[in-house]
Amino acid sequence: MDIASKLNKMSIKEKFRAMESKWDDLCHTSDFTSPDWHKDILVRIRILKSAQEDLREGYWFYESQEGGVGAYFIDSFNSDIESLKIYAGVQKTAAQ
């Protein structure tokens, strides 16, 4: 069974969990370290009012799909921001 077929059978909550697991795996298997300047910049992340509204809309959209998924969406967003502070820049640059 190909990946697209598997994804079509997953609930939204399962898809979010799969993405989170893949991200965690990539971050923890990398042997690269982030430059110090990345952390300095990322500590100053500011969420614009328009983005805050998008996050609220995203919460309600996902919550309407399945109970609890809206909160999971916000938790995942916050977790990703925290991960950026730690792991930003560890990804390899694709050859162009």
Considering the domain boundaries, does residue 14 fall inside one? no
Q: What SS3 class is residue 67?
A: coil
Q: 0.85 cut: is pTM over it?
A: no
Task: Give residue 66's domain range.
Answer: 46-89
Q: What SS3 class is residue 21?
A: helix
Considering the domain boundaries, does residue 67 fall inside one? yes
Considering the domain boundaries, does residue 6 fall inside one? no
DSSP 94: P
pLDDT tens for the 96 residues of the chain, in order? 688 888 888 888 888 888 888 777 766 665 656 667 666 665 667 788 899 999 999 999 999 999 999 999 999 998 888 777 676 655 555 554
Considering the domain boundaries, does residue 70 fall inside one? yes
Look at the chain and report how many structural domains it folds into. 1
Residues 38, 44, 46, CA angle at the centre, nearest 5°?
125
Distance (Å, whole) CA 96 – CA 86: 26
Question: CA torsion 82→90→46→53, rounded to 10°?
Answer: -80
